Amino acid sequence: MEERDHKKLGPELELFYIDPMVGKGLPMFLPKGATVKRELERFVIEEEIKRGYLHVHTPDLARLELYEKSGHYPHYKDSMYAPIEIDEDKYMLRPMTCPHHFQLYLQKPHSYRELPMRIAELAQLYRYEQSGELMGLQRVRTFCLADAHIVCASEQQAADEVAGALDLIEYMASVFGLKLGEDYRYRLSLGDRANTEKYHKNDAAWEKSEDLLRKVMQKRGYEFEEAKDEATFYGPKIDIQMKNVNGKEDTAFTVQYDFCMPDRFDLTYVGEDGTKKR
């Protein structure tokens, strides 16, 4: 399989290069690779805008308190870079954009007429992967993620948006000749009610959100595996598991149902009756 090893082909085709002086897991894109990357990014942004996504740009770092508020720091601090002290305050290189996008939502009050609101970004993220886990462009310490957060006014809206996100993923996969059932499959990743250290404790919310995702998948008529203890701390998710050239699986896309952040960030909107709702 050496002739198909992207770690070897990348430098040979002058696409990307990982320099030990720069650091492990920190790829640099050469002109040809940067052109490919730019065209992919343009394709993603244009397609998302067609589908009603609102593209934003947020900073690559933020105060530590933001990630403590979201709950990401206590759950993921081992895979985050150490805090940077600036002016007696602590900042983090961001491992995700969730709290940034929620703070943007909170910039002003919103009406039910604005929802669902699809906030999207091609974001550069930073995660402290262990040296032994690094692998070419498959496992790195900084990468660009097409990330979006959709604020909904109802469970029906949420179900419709999950289906819409899956439509988008399937379309993008098809553009590159990837077929469901051959090149990728669906996995419904569930929580574990007994593991309250790893998962937010709210049995009713877990039941409701897992059932919502399950019904979306059943309605689409797809085969899917249910995997316990594979969810995020804030809710269940649908993972798109894709085969790589070595025959192993990577999670290429994920659609997550977050029932924690509306409470943590007090994400509200004004309903049709004029009252504030969450």
Q: Are 94 and 81 in contact (CB under 8 A)?
A: no
**253: which strand partners?**
240
Whole-number average pLDDT of the chain? 95
Cβ neighbours for 135, distance < 8 A, ≥ 6 positions apart:
7
pTM of the model: 0.94
Cβ neighbours for 11, distance < 8 A, ≥ 6 positions apart:
17
226-269 pLDDT tens trace: 999 999 999 999 999 998 887 889 999 999 999 999 999 999 99
Query: 1 pLDDT exceeds 60?
Result: no
72-120 pLDDT tens trace: 998 889 999 999 999 999 999 999 999 999 999 999 999 999 999 999 9
Q: What is the pLDDT of residue 136?
A: 92
